[in-house]
Structure 1
């Protein structure tokens, strides 16, 4: 009975996390929305988790990650309980210094520290750390510039951008050549849907996923975000997924 319930839970998890396939110059990247700002990517024999959060059980049915990218120190990004529940003994962790300082290094294969602007080739994958921060820049900002990272990950000749917790900063608006973007939108922590749509309409990724859209007032209006982007940048494909299955 226990085995049956385990299989049923895994099947439910897979069905909840509707997957997308992104064609690249060399194979496909499977994208699995997990929860809030958490994403799983599979490309050939490489698996990447971004900001694992929500408990190890939400990763049922997923491969053991080769890479984990962590954007910031807050608990919905660096969630030690979730990390501790996963088998990460052979995993490379990529994180900003303030996160790396909090990680129990012996639990992972290695920890690579990236700061804003740093670029590394890790496990054959180019990873660039991008600024993420609140506007205006103030001493009491929830997300000061330089502490956390957004990331650009290149897989199969395609670039995947993960915004982290940010507003429509100049560095985001100046991005070029982004194929797939994951863009946050939740007040009061990041930006509203109007700011997000304005930024996306400026840097024009091929595909954009609104994610990380739960704020103090509930879920942001991602349908409005889609309408705004469709009107101002019709060449951008907006894909809406269920990041809050519970």
Structure 2
């Protein structure tokens, strides 16, 4: 009888420990969930696209077993601890998108850098072996990614404007039927409105360089990506109201997910 009672006591002890562990884990999960805000440091979903903002227009994309950078600026320190890129996309010649110093500070041996011709013209000639030029409307393939250059420009069109048509590239990156749209410095242009079947879109909104929050929302509602992430939203007068952008998009189409990532860590300081 003592033996049976001992076994029962031991069994109750371990059951209690297991339940206590589960309760603690549940409490931690609840606390963690309660502490989350709309501003998060990176975004991953069932597309397999993991977006980690670096700053403003610069990001690291992990997509399955591949890594690529968008508009790398900020020097080598900005990419410390980040995987070496399989390729790089550069959208325009401005300093918040193109930095020869940053590119030269990184290990880019064997890395293709997809650029518009205007960017190639600005980069050092010793980088030519890495560069692959793509004009608006052109396509190329890197690994199993299909990359299309999409126009990006200001409205009304002005050859002397911040972003004249034909100089820079937005990009649609496609892999296994999943499409990521990187708009670059653009306004609510027809080429963006006519996009189809976009899973994730990075869309800018900052005056006077790109477009208003309202125009950005209208453009997104026209091409209806499954998910949209505002980026490049610091302008001459501070930061665009990305919460307003989210409300406008969801008021027009509740099925479009809007995610706000932390592109400006210094903003919260």
The answer to whether the superposition gives a TM-score over 0.5 is yes
Which has more helix, going by share of residues?
A: 2
Runs of 5+ unmatched residues, structure 2: 1-38
Do the aligned partners of residues 109 and 17 (structure 1) sit closer, same or farther apart at CA in structure 2, a change above 3 Å counting?
farther
Query: How many Å separate the matches in 2 of 1:179 and 1:71?
Result: 20
Partner of 1:31: 51
Partner of 1:4: none
Do the aligned partners of residues 124 and 106 (structure 1) sit closer, same or farther apart at CA in structure 2, a change above 3 Å counting?
farther
Q: Deviations over 1:89-141 (max 9, x none)?
A: 22110000010122235347521100000011122210000000000012321
CA contact (8 A) 1:207 1:239 kept: yes
CA contact (8 A) 2:205 2:211 kept: yes
Q: Tell me whether 1:91 sits opposite 2:111 in the alignment.
A: yes
Partner of 1:60: 80
Partner of 2:182: 162
Q: Tell me whether 1:204 sits opposite 2:227 in the alignment.
A: no
Partner of 1:237: 257
Name which of structure 1's ranges 234-243 and 74-83 shifts more when overlaid on structure 2.
74-83
Partner SS state of residue 107, structure 2? coil
Runs of 5+ unmatched residues, structure 1: 1-15
Larger radius of gyration: 2
Deviation at 1:44, TM superposition (A): 3.0
Name which of structure 1's ranges 189-198 and 97-106 shifts more when overlaid on structure 2.
97-106
Partner SS state of residue 173, structure 2? strand
Q: Tell me whether 1:21 sits opposite 2:44 in the alignment.
A: yes
Q: 2:191 aligns with which of 171, 178, 193?
A: 171
Name which of structure 1's ranges 225-234 and 29-38 shifts more when overlaid on structure 2.
29-38
- The correspondence of residues 1-246 of structure 1 with structure 2, limited to 5 A, is 18-24=41-47, 28-107=48-127, 110-246=130-266
Say what the alpha-carbon RMSD is for the aligned residues. Answer: 1.6
CA contact (8 A) 1:30 1:41 kept: yes
Query: How many Å separate the matches in 2 of 1:43 and 1:175?
Result: 21
Do the aligned partners of residues 69 and 135 (structure 1) sit closer, same or farther apart at CA in structure 2, a change above 3 Å counting?
same
